[in-house]
């Protein structure tokens, strides 16, 4: 079975298409969500190998999303690609989240994902 990656991206269709295409080319099954609540629903239905988040959602900020995700699927790595306030960024990293400063190159993304268990 291919590893599933869940994307929550707000950078527009071109950015999403680039990330999705790259991950599929690398052999991952890619699912998308349009909101933090949809992320939580999808994780409750089926486990994923990785969650990639671009920025805060309308219903919760990145830290709140991270904490809710950890309640559902404790071991899932959560990779944040977008800008967020410094306090949330530090707390997420302290709690085990992964943060990449934008802009993120596909080679950097590949290296980070390949290091995951």
In order along its 117 residues, the chain shows pLDDT tens digits of 679 999 887 766 777 888 889 999 999 999 999 889 999 999 999 999 999 998 767 788 899 999 999 999 999 999 998 888 899 999 999 999 999 988 888 899 999 999 998
What is the Cα Rg of the chain in Å? 13
Tell me the CATH number of domain 4-114, given options 3.40.109.10, 3.40.140.80, 3.40.640.10, 3.40.50.2300.
3.40.50.2300
Domain definitions of the chain by residue range: 4-114
Do 63 and 71 form a contact (C-beta atoms < 8 A)? no
Q: How many CB atoms sit inside 10 A of residue 115's CB?
A: 9
> CA-to-CA distance for 103 and 117, rounded, in angstroms?
25
According to the model, what pLDDT value does residue 10 have?
A: 73
């Amino acid at each position: 079975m291919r590893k599933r990656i869940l994307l929550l991206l707000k950078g527009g269709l071109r950015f999403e298409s680039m990330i999705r295409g790259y991950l599929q080319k690398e052999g991952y099954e890619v699912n998308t969500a349009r909101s933090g609540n949809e992320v939580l629903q999808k994780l409750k239905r089926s486990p994923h190998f990785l969650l990639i988040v671009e920025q805060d959602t309308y219903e919760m900020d990145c830290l709140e999303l991270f904490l809710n995700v950890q309640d559902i699927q404790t071991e899932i790595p959560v990779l944040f690609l977008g800008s967020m306030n410094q306090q949330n960024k530090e707390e997420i990293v302290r709690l085990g989240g992964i943060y990449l400063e934008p802009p993120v190159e596909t080679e950097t993304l590949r290296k980070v994902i390949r290091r995951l268990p």
